[in-house]
Each structure stands twice: as structure tokens, then as C-alpha cells.
Amino acid sequence: MFGWGLADLFYKKSNVDGDRYSHLKTAVWVGMMMGFVSIVLTVLSLLKNGGAHIPDAITAETLFTPETSIFMSAVKYLPASLGYIISMVIGYAGMRYLEVSIVSPVQNASGALSAIVLFVYFTVTGSIGSFWEEFSVLDVIGTVLIVAGVIALGVVEQRLAKAEGALDLKPEERKYRFGALALLFPILYCVFDTIGSSADAIILNEDTGLGLGEIDVLILYGFTFLLAGIVAWIFLLIKEKKAYNPFTKEDMKTRFPAAVFEQFGQIFYVYAIADNPIVAAPMIASYCIVSAVLSRIFLKEKLKASQYACVITVIIGIILLGISEGLAEA
């Protein structure tokens, strides 16, 4: 939650006005970071000689064996990785037109949608019982508060955006910044992120999963994003007629920390979603609260009383989940 909240802050800072390909340059950086971490995890797994399915498959005999090959593992994880990558690139582009405190809450309604999709899926497959056994009254109340707070924050942000746009912007600017095109970005992000989150939870589930562990998912997602980053870099080379250099001073100050915090959040996300996806999905989505607070502090984006109320609601929900976990362990 904190990792992705901080990443959102640097994503916004890395967006350059007038640079129509700013979002693709961010994708290049995230691809490099995730690819690097995937290489490190693969090497460590190989040295350990066991545990993850992917390193076990890296032999001449099993490389192309349908049941164990890297290729087949990548195919299994493709729905989740594509959902995430598409949603993230759309999110980077959307931050060019809307404030972080507007974009993030709308995007992260995906956490609520994912919880609903997963509830239906595990109910249909008969696996919901294992999750209900771990639920308490505090878990239910906390989850409801988080979902309600995130959705309410998105609604409040949209109303404030329209009101402030009507007062502060010229008609042509208002149409560009707050019109249907601008709002389409966080909405599409929400849709594709819901696909990615739901697919992740299903793939990592012990009863209905596809036999991939947490390390497998981190490695596969990282390499997939690395490939996406390479494609983005080639596209930039073709369109701008020059090679994009990601190691400029400005990029190291904005895109590098954004990629670091994105990867940091990704590691904890994978383990959280594998443990209890129905609770984890909305709680992780509440990182928009961190984004909203940080944007107020560092980007000077103003928060209204209604926004603070939504933030407090989500925080209370998170605290209740923490108390429930503590009581369960006790």
C-alpha cells in the first residue's frame, strides 16, 4: 500500500507537460526495474536449486516439455500480466490530464470490483468455504469500510474536479482536462486492473490455481514487463528518431524511484493476494489514500473535508483488519 502510494507520487512528478510519450518512458523504466529483479530472483532460485517451478524447468530436457516449460508457465500467467501492464501504461497516460488525488481513487475502485469478482468465482468453484473460515466480524466490517471509503473518495474527487474545473479553467481547457477523454483513462485502468488482480488471485489459489508460486509470478511478471519496456523503447526510437536515454538526471530523480517503489509494492502484493485475495484486494487498493495524502503534502493538491472523511473511513477499516489479524494470532 505504501510502496504503490509513493510510486503514484513519482509517476505524477515524472509526467512532463508537452511530452506526448512521457507515459511510455515511464513504462521503459518500470520494465527495466522489474526485469532486473526477475533476473536476480531467477539466479537466486537456481543457486538454491529448488522451490520455484521456473528454475526447475531451465534444463535442456524440460525447456519445451508442455507441463513444465517456461513457455507454458508464461502462457498461464499471460492474462494477469497483460491486464496489469495495460492498466499501468493507461494509468501513466491518465496522470497527464488529471490530479493524482483524482486519478488514484477512481483507478483503485478495481480493488472493490476484484473482491466482488473473486467472491463470485470462489463461490461458483466451491472454494469460498476456506476463506470464510478465516473471516471474522471485524474482517467483514473492515473490508466494507475500505471498499466504501475508496469508492466514496472516487465519487467525491469527480464532483470536486468538475466544480473546480468550472471555476478555474477556460472552457477549452476544462473539456480537455475533465471531459470524457480524461476520465476514460482511470476507468480503463480500473477495468484492466480488475482483470489482472482477479487472474492473479485465481492463479495463486492453492485449490483452483495453475501451479504457480509467488516467486514464479514475480519472475514471470517482471520478464513480461521487461519485454513491454523494450517494445516501448523501440517505439520511442521509431517515433522520435533518437534513442531514449532513461539515465538522465531528471529521470533518475523521478522515474527511478517510481520504478523502485512499484517493484517494492509488487513483491508484497503478490504474497498478500496469495494469502487472502478477497480481503487483500480492497485493502491494497486503498493505497490511493496514501497517494491522496502525499499529493497534498508534496504536490500541494488540496483536500476537502469530504476527502478527509473518506481517508479516515479507509484508515478505520485497515485498523479493524489489523486488530482482527492480531486477535486471530493470539
pLDDT digits (tens, 9 = 90+) for 230-262: 999 999 999 999 999 999 999 999 999 999 999
Query: What is the DSSP track for 130-162?
Result: HHHTT--HHHHHHHHHHHHHHHHHHHHHHHHHH
Query: Could you list the residue range(s) of the whole structural domain that residue 260 is in?
Result: 2-329
pLDDT at site 261: 95
Q: What is the rounded CA–CA span in Å between residue 220 and residue 37?
A: 11
15: helix, strand or coil:
coil
DSSP-derived letter for residue 49 is T
Write out the DSSP string of 83-136. HHHHHHHHHHHHTTTS-HHHHHHHHTTHHHHHHHHHHHHHHHTT-HHHHHTT--
Give the residue carrying C-alpha cell 484492466.
192
Report d(CA 224, CA 119) in Å as an integer. 28
Contact between 6 and 224 under an 8 Å Cβ cutoff? The reply is: no
**Burial (CB count <10 Å: 0-12, 13-18, 19+), residue 300:** exposed
Cβ 55 vs Cβ 42: under 8 Å: yes
pLDDT of residue 210: 64
**Grid coordinates in use for 189?**
485502468
Q: pLDDT at position 172, please?
A: 42
What is the C-alpha separation between 49 and 52, in angstroms, rounded? 9
Quote the pLDDT of residue 330.
58
User: Which stretches in the chain have pLDDT values below 70?
Assistant: 17, 48-72, 96-109, 111-113, 127-135, 154, 157-158, 160-183, 206-211, 278-279, 281-282, 285, 299, 301-303, 322, 325-330
Q: What is the DSSP letter of 178?
A: H
The total number of structural domains in the chain stands at 1
Cell of 295: 499529493
Q: What is the per-residue pLDDT for 91?
A: 79
pLDDT at res. 103: 62
